[in-house]
Structure 1
Amino acid sequence: MKNDDKEHQKFGLAESIVTLLIMFSILGTLIIKYQLAPQIPILLVFTLLMFYGHLRGFSWDEIFDGITKGITPGLIPIIIFLMIGLLVSTWLSSGTIATIMVVGFKILSVRLFLPTVFLICGLIGITVGSAFTTISTMGIAFMGIGHVLGFPSALIAGAIVSGAFLGNNMSPLSDTSNLTTGIAKVDLYEHLKTMAQTVLPSALIALVIYVFMGNTTHTANLQSVRHISLVLTKAFPVSVWSLLPILVLLILAWRKVPAVPTLLSGAITAIILNVVRGSNASVQKIGTMLMNGFHASTGSKVVDKLMSGGGITNMLGSISLIICALSLGGLLIEFGVVHVLIDSVKNFVNTPGKLILITALSGIGINFAVGEQYLSIILPGTTFEGAFDRLHLERKYLSRTLATAGADINALVPWGVSGIFISGTLNVDSLRYIPFAFYPYLNPLMTIILGFTFVTWKYHAAQAKRAGGQ
């Protein structure tokens, strides 16, 4: 088929809007009202859209090409998911998670638990440059501590996610920070300084909320805490040596080693600890643990539940959801739905505030339509970079908008890559933790507010200065 024929068959604006409305109606009804696993509603919408596209004139080759292009950006995240399955199972078996929990029981205040989780996950996120790594390591330990202290799972997960994505925003090692600066062609450290203008007030507001909620929701049973700490100490090798996998992970992150080899190294270090100690050291036991996860047997049902998990098998549900979501997103892009909606609004952006708002809404919309944070950064970035230049608006504001509306919002999309990962790793339904993940809401909102205030004021000041110099 000729290119002009293919362009002619792309969905129009009205058709694209109706398509998305039907899609979100089906997803919302089946996921929220009937509480179905997201894979089935997404697969249903994918099937309907695929056959409708074929009836509209798209060949099966074009449809499959769109599916392939949609899945491709998710291949590395899928590999990372598998590596994290290995990491979690090995850290549980080696006593790494148990050591963190025992130390946490000793030093964490109940009333300050939630704000402490938020801040520590933020600092770890800045250090390792990955929200996923933070959530799958410190996040799992904090979930265990929080359960014992009597905090609701959704609230703990919300604080973990908020801190992890805060760290992801402000880390020079972050893949999304480097992607946004590459798209916007902005110096990385200039981008981080600009990010700080929204990150700091957003983090402060989130911190205050977690302090308040920590004071009103704690129901800690200190006797239960001491009992579980004693069980962990007896059942697992709680020692400084058990923290060695964390040290390896941090060193490799500082040296800017990519996520996959970093996660593998952390898992291998934990396996070596097991072999040296002689626990679960046979090839068969290690292989079974890596595949099916670690299953604790301490004599305490509570501790067994806290300290069991990980493995490749336990990540397969999340991976299947990613494949379904990205396949659907690939069809929406192939049929022109995403591009026609963005193109329809970009001609109305004639002020800094409007431009930042539309760029942010585009990133948010793509997140919910496609579920992939990289595409939520790339598509609005390449579409609106010319508009920023036409308004003589510095591109550091483009990179900040892409980071907040692209990367952050993905944590709030139940069928998004981040939402799926968080739900699977922390074992908390995404619709439960999302209301308590305050930071990913606040940072994009702060970006839009500053767009209409501080950025606009600076823009007009620069315009006046240029006019005065002529």
Structure 2
Amino acid sequence: MLKREVQKGRAKMKKDVTIKEALFLLVVLLAMIGTLIIGFKLPAHVALLFALAVVFLFAGYKKVSWKTIQEGIQEGITPGLVPIIIFILIGALISVWIAAGTIPTIMVYGFSVLSVQFFLPTVFLICGIVGATVGSSFTTISTVGIAFLGMGQIMGLNPAITTGAIVSGAFLGNSISPLSDTANLSAAIAEVDLFQHIKHELWTVLPAAFLSLLGYTFLSFRATQTVAGDGIETISQTLHEFYTISPVTLLPVVVLFFAAWRKIPAIPTLLTSIVLSILVRYLYHPTTSLASIGSWIQDGYISKTGVANVDLLLTRGGMQSMMWSVSLILLALSLGGLLVKLNIIETILAQVEELMKTKSRLILMTALSSIGINLLIGEQYLSIILPGKAYKENYRKISLPDKYLSRTLSDAGATFNPLIPWGVSGVFIAGTLGISTLSYLPFAFFCYLVPLITIGAGFMKTKEN
């Protein structure tokens, strides 16, 4: 079936793309991107720009028209337009949450109940619970995630480790929430009941969560608390002095969580929370000028407490802070759109089908395909959709229940995406928390344990196979 679709897609090409050409191009792209980012430490933007140039040369070699190339770029960017608007709104939201006292309040309340010895496992569990409740890893990271990152830094913990715990917890919740878009998409692509999919997810999610919890507990006990208790007390006093610390300031968070739980679209939800945060600011600081509000939304909030740790943590946000992320996403989606338009991805997936004769091989190749699409395109939805559509019939040919397909797509597609520096999730996390993907990657235990456990489970005997 996939081969017929590939042949139709090649109709506009003057020459078919052979499997050797497709593999050669992918190897060149991955090697070049990896070398430039890791070896030469160039920004991911530059690496993707060079990758686009290579694909342009390949398209010229295959005599593909410029119109077709433009169509590929446009088709690649289109699915990312709504996430881009969401990113921009989250940048604005962060700044007004700080101005309203929302994030400082979460930090002060957190200091009163959390200790460094159990901080990381607690962060992992709370982010998991919040993620499962609201069904959105992005919402979890941009709300409690920011507060936890600030608390961890004040406690003297490595921010990359704290970010790893935040990301792991957020994607743990996202993978098992019935409100999650990626869980629903995985179930829909595999034609599986949503709750059957979630139940089957637990076989891989729970072991990964348990191992992650052990890892964060170990790291917490090894951590040295470089800020003494009186130091934390000083930070809390500073927050009380310069910010509004009140349960009322948490109202924008409550509204955001409620809207997510009710599955209200993200854009109106974020706009509502922004407006509500501004109203809370005016409630306690009625003399705030409109010019200040506009400056915070555009350029971010600038903390001026005079305490270096506080000012460093709470000087952030603004729509402009997300432009780095937006430009990287546009480049990544453009590259992905071209690879799809030129039938590079489909050609390889069609060839991979020939290797899928057993359960273990089928699950392995499905997982590797999702991971590969994440690496090449950086879009978590396509890492679910493309392998799901390509391999669905293969699961049925060997009588392997569709729930195995949905679980593999979710585990190796959506959950792996935050580990890619140019992936939509990785870019969002780096832009929101200010910690690079390669820095937190070693500590995002859950995100790489789940795909490994999924692949390993494929080699185990089951009642169905």
Q: What range is the shorter-chain TM-score in? A: over 0.9
The amino acid across from 1:282 in the alignment is S
Match of 2:149 in 1: 143
Alignment of 1:20 onto 2:29: no
Aligned residues: 457
How many Å apart are 1:362 and its aligned residue? Answer: 0.4
Q: Separation in 1 of the partners of 2:326 and 2:219?
A: 33
Conserved? CA contact 2:14–2:64, under 8 Å: no
1:107 has 2:107 as partner: no
Contact 2:13–2:64 at 8 Å: present in 1 too? Answer: no
Q: Compared with structure 1, are the counterparts of its residues 283 and 255 closer, same or farther at alpha carbon in structure 2 (3 Å cutoff)?
A: same
| In 2: Cα distance, 1:425 partner to 1:355 partner | 36
CA deviation after TM superposition for structure 1 residue 121, in Å: 0.5
Query: What pairs with 1:226-305 in structure 2 (closer than 5 Å)?
Result: 226-278=233-285, 281-305=288-312
Of 450, 454, 459 in structure 1, the residue corresponding to residue 464 of structure 2 is 459
Structure 1 residue 365 corresponds to structure 2 residue 378: no
Show the counterpart of 1:352: 359
The alignment status of 1:119 with 2:131, answered yes or no, reads no
Q: Is the 8 A contact 1:332 1:338 kept in 2?
A: yes
Q: Deviations over 1:331-362 (max 9, x none)?
A: 11111111111111112212222111111110
Deviates more, 1:201-210 or 1:388-397: 388-397
Per-residue CA deviations over 1:251-301 (Å, capped at 9, x if unaligned) read: 112212122222222222111101222357332221111111111111212
Are the aligned partners of 1:122 and 1:166 in contact in 2 as well (CA < 8 Å)? Answer: yes
Question: Match for residue 81 of structure 2?
Answer: 75
Alpha-carbon distance in 2 for matches of 1:213, 1:363: 30
Q: Is 2:36 aligned against 1:49?
A: no
Report the Cα offset of residue 73 of structure 1. Answer: 1.5
Give deviations 1:38-81, integer Å, cap 9, x for gaps.
Answer: 11111111022113312311000111111111111111211110
Asked if residue 180 in structure 1 is aligned to residue 180 in structure 2, the reply is no
Contact 1:89–1:311 (CA<8 Å) still a contact in 2? yes
Root-mean-square deviation (CA, aligned residues, Å) is: 1.4
Deviations 1:122-180 (A, max 9, x none): 01101111111111111110110000101011101100000000011011111111111
What's 1:383 paired with?
390
Matched, 1:434 2:432: no
Deviations 1:396-418 (A, max 9, x none): 11111111111011011111111
CA contact (8 A) 2:127 2:145 kept: yes
CA contact (8 A) 1:111 1:218 kept: no
* Kept in 2: contact 1:126–1:167 (CA 8 A): yes
Where does residue 5 of structure 2 map in the other structure? none
1:392 matched to 2:399: yes
Aligned partner of residue 462 in structure 2, secondary structure: helix
Query: Is residue 39 from structure 1 mapped to residue 11 from structure 2 by the alignment?
Result: no
Letter in 1 for 2:314: M
5+ residue gaps, structure 2, are 1-7
Shift of 1:4: 5.8
CA pair 136-413 structure 1, distance change in 2 beyond 3 A: same
Given candidates 152, 159, 163, the residue that maps to 1:153 is 159
Normalised to the residue count of structure 1, the TM-score between the two structures is 0.95
- In structure 2, how many angstroms separate the alpha carbons of the residues matched to 1:409 and 1:60? 33
* Separation in 2, partners of 1:253, 1:54: 46
Given that residues 143 and 156 in structure 1 are in contact (C-alpha distance below 8 angstroms), is that contact kept between their aligned partners in structure 2?
Answer: yes
Separation in structure 1 between the aligned mates of residue 401 and residue 268 of structure 2, nearest angstrom: 36
Q: Provide TM-score, normalisation by structure 2.
A: 0.96
Identity of aligned pairs, percent? 47
Letter in 2 for 1:285: S
Q: What does residue 97 of structure 2 align with? A: 91
Indicate conservation of the 8 Å contact 1:154/1:436, yes or no: yes
Whether the 8 Å contact between 2:13 and 2:63 is mirrored in structure 1 is: no
Alpha-carbon offset, residue 457 of structure 1: 2.0
